[in-house]
Structure 1
Amino acid sequence: MPNARNRLRLFIITLLAIAAPALSRADVAVHGQVLDLNGRGLKEVMVTVEPGPAETGIAAVTVFSDDQGIFTFPGKIANATAANLPIRAAKLGYRQTEVQNANEGAAGVAVTILMETSAEQAGIAPASAWLKHIPEQEDVAKIIMNCVGCHQLPGPEVRKYARMVHDVPSTDPAAVRQQSWSAMVKYMNFVSAEEFGRGIVGAAPIQPDRVYGITDEDAVTKVLAKHMTGDFQSVQGYDWGAPLAVNGKTVIREYAVATPNNVREALLLGDPPRLWAADVGSDNIVAIDAATGRQKIYTVPSDIPVGPHTLVAGQDGSLWVAPFFNGVVAHLDIAKETWEVWPLKTPEGGNIGIHDLSFDADHELITDKQGRVWYSDIVNNAVGYFDPKTGKAEIFHVPEKPGRPAQGAALYGLAMASDQKTIWFCQLGIASFGSFNTETLKFEAYESLPMMDAGPRRIAMSDEDVLYLALYGAGQLLEYDTKTRKTIGLYDLPDRASAPYSVTWDNLRKVAWIPTSNANVIYRFDPRDKSIKVLPLPREQGFLRMVGIDPKTGYLATSYANISIPVHGPRMAVLIDLGDGVGKTATR
């Protein structure tokens, strides 16, 4: 029997193939060059092969051109010839004008892509580019915090609506905008309340002012009516704002998941490695073979709805699942394919709104010294624990923060320090964060951010106990030393309308990765020199939430996570080989 190293090597070799062997009839190698109209090579161009609509499997592969404009796809492209090669190129400030293919026999297909400069960026620039004209960051934050929870804004459908509003004949266009956006806010409030109430056992009738609803309709309507002007048909002048974190060896693979789905998060686990994607619209976890795209569904065994929401790797390679509904935590031994399930209640029998589970600098589940798993409770504005051995659960309510509203705090992200004693949390609704001592059961540090709509969401802890908070509304990254309890720095991201959803500490590279929900990019922050780089994703409306780092290969695993079902936009798992040589077995 092959040992673990040989099995992993076999996986890497297999991963070079980008389509299932069962579908391969005419596999060809594809390489080429991207040139401008003067014959000069263009670097950092996204070049994508997308065979066409796919129910499941590897839907598309993207590479980047090097300094000479040369690109090479790994492995071979299935069912492709020089006359039938579904290839496209994208780069801000350019548009594709011509593709020239030539058969090279055994060498495959050589492609020359010509591009010309273009000021028009619609279809290439992200949704956030349409908000760059707004000078007040407080207004941008209000839009992001209230209107970018399940989808991007303004996405194509929203831009169509804005154009219809713009085209209404009227002597008072401001009044038209006010009425039109007020109607849209009310509608989205209802949809949001319906989505976030779905599946909750004993849920009350829909209340549009639920925790995820827009609680101040008038203020949000005012901001939208003020800034959503014009016909929204053209956008120009957008740039990434920082160097790109790509090279000629970077590869992005996108995996289609059977629809309907509500894919939310994804991790790379197992031997051979599979992408594990949570479908929050069901009780399913979808396991995707990274090499072939073949998929298998694992259903959380529960008598009440779960809605898998948060995925955390176990230190033994297993999978922990936190729920969207009803306080059900689950654990899957992926080797044995066996489940453990804990339906949790407070000692008084109340509901627990689990959001995040305690994890360490490797983003692997970690317990306190008594073996208890800690979690954030978004419903009760509390932190809590459960004991996997006994199923006992308890919560501890966060005290009110002076100067901040008592309602709507929404305790969201949570991470544990290396002492296995201190957990850190953040509150999305009141822009605050703090710590809790799991031995004394007392709250300790408690900090507030200057902007009420700053929006701290998912947090991360480094191996040196530095806390990182992505500020969704403010478009910033906070770096905080938990040992000295002092802020190291507050950094503007290149695009402050990007809606940074979370932070993941990369223990291999010693950097922080920040996926965004409104800009189709993942930011890379290096704490050594405070530099930021940009990893662009190839798909429009790529609503990102979490990113996982595979400790063996250094690959990044993420997902396009538009929810709910009525929302337009991709719902896919994504695997990224940065091509930087990091990882024990990193290779093309």
Structure 2
Amino acid sequence: MKRHLRKVAFLGILVSAGAGCQMGTVTGNPSVAPLSGRVQSASGESLGGVPLQARRPETNMAVVVYTNKQGEYAYPEDLSPGLYGVNIQVSGFQHVTKEGVNVTKGKPTRLDFSLEPATPPLSELTASEVLLALPGTDKIKAEAARCSNCHSLQFALGRKRDRATWLKTIEMMRGITPSGVMQAPEVVRPILQQTAKTNQELADFMAAVASPDSPPLPAKLLPRPTDDASTRITITEYFIPRGAVSVTLRGDTKGAWLHDVLPDGKGNIWYTDHFANVLGRLDPKSGEIKEFRYAHSKPGKQEGALQHTFDKQGNIWLGVLWQGTIGKFDPRTEKFNLWTIAEDARLGMVAMDSSGNAWAVSSPTSGVYKLDPKTGKFTKYPIPTQKGAYGMGIDSKDRVYFCEMEAGKIGRFDPKTEKFTEWDTPTPDSGPRRLDIDAQDRFWFGEFYAGKIGMFDPKTETIREWAIPGNPYAAPYDVAVDNKGNAVWANDFNNNRVYRFDVKTEKFTEFLLPEPNVEIRHLFVDDSTTPSTVWIPDYSPPGKILKLQAW
């Protein structure tokens, strides 16, 4: 298989995992921190929960710390010496960047900020903040939030249209897939018949809030988390050079759309791209990035992969979504092997069983698929509820679990008995999306439409749910288990937050991400580090990977 390689190397910012983090209220110790200071408003009010990003211009890496309730911040002691640009970008205030900040070893630098208030533009509001400020029922606002399948809600609201034009636009978008492909008229026609009433209601709503005569959209900012548990964090950002541009529409290949991330246990982080046949490797120590391109299996089908995983030999298996392909990459030889199914299946999610078989699920064909790599044979097992499947995983007994997002169900397939079992979530139409399985074989999942995380206990075959606090429009896309920390992490696709759920206390801790409108489709927890490390791909171009550690 022909392989294409792209390599980019950068100088790194070296920050060790545990640097200076024993101080209770700020990330580093101000008395010895190489860079510290205070952030306040122009009126002198201390501003807690504010992210400060320090980046050397010659690197593709940045380090972010947060202010405590007193507005104080301090960087870890081993922030490498050099000239930095320090940036603050927080909603409700003017953005500030101070260039040429000199960090010198053994000589602490003090840098204070005074922020001027500013009304944030629509592009800086999160979808949740927009929905909170708009009039209308929760039902119709939830329908408007589904614009995010193809583009942001903010993008849609930024285009003023009269009611007739809104209706025409809504009906057109019903026929477009999230990859930007217009479906055939015979496919679109029944969709429009099923959604006719909702389309009329949505056109009324959009015309009321985004017509040529509508007043400016109000801004209702969600409060920043300022308590110690939420601000004792360090985030390192790694910027991907390919597609380093901002784009609006899903599938625009001028941008990099990072979908999943996965540590290999050797210090590298591997990532997939939703709309490009690219498997990437990041060395977090140096910032070096290599990208490996794999072949197109089905001409005319969109490129891109979603989930990837390792087998016992250290090979990477990935689900190449629209091409109905499962791929294997050998990091030692840097070569790919690809297996493609003739059926028009979307095999974006993939997991390995203990015998070395690859398993995948497909939404449009509502099936669980097994690939035997030795024979190259695919076997399909049709899911009883024919509404598709998305997230999937395999437990220690080789049972395949999956999320049925549009059916409001979760499911399990036992390969030994070839039996399916399905369970309705306690909240109807909750939209189970992606999942993770803990050391006790409990199945955790995000409920995208219900704003909750769920847990299925195989011992009792019961489901429990917990609501994301403080945001009625939360949309948890994925969850990731921290077995060592007895916690589960979740993201909010409608808001620039991630959450840590303490399994013992059943309490959430909220963490603000460094920039507005960070969209996340995957989380991965590496609990071999102290503290555990959460790896986060920022889906929206320009692409970057976030490394989050909370103390």
Counterpart amino acid of 1:544?
Answer: I
Summarize the Cα distance change of 1:248–1:479 in structure 2 as closer, same or farther, 3 Å threshold. Answer: closer
Counterpart amino acid of 1:297?
Answer: E
Moved more, 375-384 or 316-325: 316-325
Work out the CA distance in 2 between the residues paired with 1:137 and 1:147: 15
Match of 1:113 in 2: 113
Work out the CA distance in 1 between the residues paired with 2:191 and 2:74: 44
Task: Determine helix, strand or coil for the equivalent of 2:508.
Answer: strand
For 2:280, which of 276, 286, 294 is the aligned residue? 286
Match of 2:546 in 1: 575
Task: Determine helix, strand or coil for the equivalent of 1:138.
Answer: helix
Task: Determine helix, strand or coil for the equivalent of 2:543.
Answer: strand
Listed as ranges, the matches of 1:514-533 within 5 Å are: 514-533=490-509
Task: Determine helix, strand or coil for the equivalent of 1:234.
Answer: coil
Task: Determine helix, strand or coil for the equivalent of 1:497.
Answer: coil
For 1:58, which of 54, 57, 60 is the aligned residue? 60
CA contact (8 A) 1:240 1:495 kept: no
For 1:275, which of 269, 276, 283 is the aligned residue? 269
For 2:533, which of 542, 550, 555 is the aligned residue? 555
The Cα shift of 1:495 comes to: 2.0
Residue 482 in 1 paired to residue 458 in 2?
yes
Listed as ranges, the matches of 1:26-175 within 5 Å are: 30-36=35-41, 41-49=46-54, 58=60, 60-74=62-76, 75-76=78-79, 80=83, 85-90=85-90, 107=107, 109-115=109-115, 125-132=125-132, 133=134, 136-144=137-145, 146-153=146-153, 155=154, 157-161=155-159, 164-165=160-161
For 2:517, which of 530, 533, 541 is the aligned residue? 541
The Cα shift of 1:187 comes to: 3.8
CA contact (8 A) 1:241 1:495 kept: no
The Cα shift of 1:516 comes to: 2.4
Residue 375 in 1 paired to residue 360 in 2?
yes
Counterpart amino acid of 2:389?
Answer: L
Counterpart amino acid of 1:285?
Answer: L
Residue 185 in 1 paired to residue 185 in 2?
no
Match of 2:306 in 1: 309
TM-score by length of 2: 0.79
Residue 255 in 1 paired to residue 239 in 2?
yes
Summarize the Cα distance change of 1:252–1:218 in structure 2 as closer, same or farther, 3 Å threshold. Answer: farther
Work out the CA distance in 1 between the residues paired with 2:186 and 2:537: 30
Residue 354 in 1 paired to residue 347 in 2?
yes
Work out the CA distance in 1 between the residues paired with 2:414 and 2:129: 42
Match of 2:406 in 1: 429
The Cα shift of 1:192 comes to: 2.7
Residue 300 in 1 paired to residue 294 in 2?
yes
Task: Determine helix, strand or coil for the equivalent of 2:475.
Answer: coil
CA contact (8 A) 1:283 1:299 kept: yes
Match of 1:413 in 2: 391
Summarize the Cα distance change of 1:104–1:285 in structure 2 as closer, same or farther, 3 Å threshold. Answer: closer
CA RMSD between the two structures = 3.7
Task: Determine helix, strand or coil for the equivalent of 1:148.
Answer: helix
Work out the CA distance in 1 between the residues paired with 2:204 and 2:515: 29
Q: Per-residue CA shift, 1:452-488, capped at 9, x if unaligned?
A: 3x22111222222222221112222222222211123
TM-score by length of 1: 0.75
Work out the CA distance in 1 between the residues paired with 2:393 and 2:123: 37
Summarize the Cα distance change of 1:240–1:531 in structure 2 as closer, same or farther, 3 Å threshold. Answer: farther
Q: Per-residue CA shift, 1:203-230, capped at 9, x if unaligned?
A: x857663999996254145135326614
Summarize the Cα distance change of 1:210–1:373 in structure 2 as closer, same or farther, 3 Å threshold. Answer: farther
Task: Determine helix, strand or coil for the equivalent of 1:209.
Answer: helix
Counterpart amino acid of 2:335?
Answer: T
The Cα shift of 1:29 comes to: 5.2
Task: Determine helix, strand or coil for the equivalent of 1:342.
Answer: strand
CA contact (8 A) 2:477 2:521 kept: yes
CA contact (8 A) 1:475 1:499 kept: yes
Work out the CA distance in 1 between the residues paired with 2:452 and 2:191: 21
Task: Determine helix, strand or coil for the equivalent of 1:505.
Answer: strand
Work out the CA distance in 2 between the residues paired with 1:210 and 1:504: 39
Task: Determine helix, strand or coil for the equivalent of 1:186.
Answer: helix
Task: Determine helix, strand or coil for the equivalent of 2:481.
Answer: strand
Residue 320 in 1 paired to residue 325 in 2?
no
Summarize the Cα distance change of 1:244–1:136 in structure 2 as closer, same or farther, 3 Å threshold. Answer: farther
Task: Determine helix, strand or coil for the equivalent of 1:501.
Answer: coil
Counterpart amino acid of 1:65?
Answer: T
Match of 2:188 in 1: 209
The Cα shift of 1:287 comes to: 1.9
CA contact (8 A) 1:470 1:476 kept: yes
Summarize the Cα distance change of 1:234–1:434 in structure 2 as closer, same or farther, 3 Å threshold. Answer: same
**What is the percentage of aligned positions where both structures have the same residue?**
18
Listed as ranges, the matches of 1:365-404 within 5 Å are: 366-367=352-353, 370-400=355-385
Summarize the Cα distance change of 1:537–1:316 in structure 2 as closer, same or farther, 3 Å threshold. Answer: farther
Work out the CA distance in 1 between the residues paired with 2:503 and 2:178: 39
Work out the CA distance in 2 between the residues paired with 1:211 and 1:426: 25
The Cα shift of 1:272 comes to: 5.6
Work out the CA distance in 2 between the residues paired with 1:86 and 1:205: 50
CA contact (8 A) 1:476 1:491 kept: yes
Work out the CA distance in 2 between the residues paired with 1:242 and 1:442: 49
The Cα shift of 1:526 comes to: 1.8
CA contact (8 A) 1:99 1:114 kept: no
CA contact (8 A) 2:413 2:420 kept: yes
Summarize the Cα distance change of 1:249–1:502 in structure 2 as closer, same or farther, 3 Å threshold. Answer: closer
Work out the CA distance in 1 between the residues paired with 2:511 and 2:103: 32
The Cα shift of 1:108 comes to: 6.0
Counterpart amino acid of 1:367?
Answer: D
Counterpart amino acid of 2:188?
Answer: D
Summarize the Cα distance change of 1:194–1:34 in structure 2 as closer, same or farther, 3 Å threshold. Answer: closer
CA contact (8 A) 2:87 2:96 kept: no
Task: Determine helix, strand or coil for the equivalent of 2:391.
Answer: strand
The Cα shift of 1:337 comes to: 2.2
CA contact (8 A) 1:143 1:224 kept: no
The Cα shift of 1:142 comes to: 2.5
The Cα shift of 1:258 comes to: 1.1
Task: Determine helix, strand or coil for the equivalent of 2:144.
Answer: helix
Summarize the Cα distance change of 1:70–1:318 in structure 2 as closer, same or farther, 3 Å threshold. Answer: farther
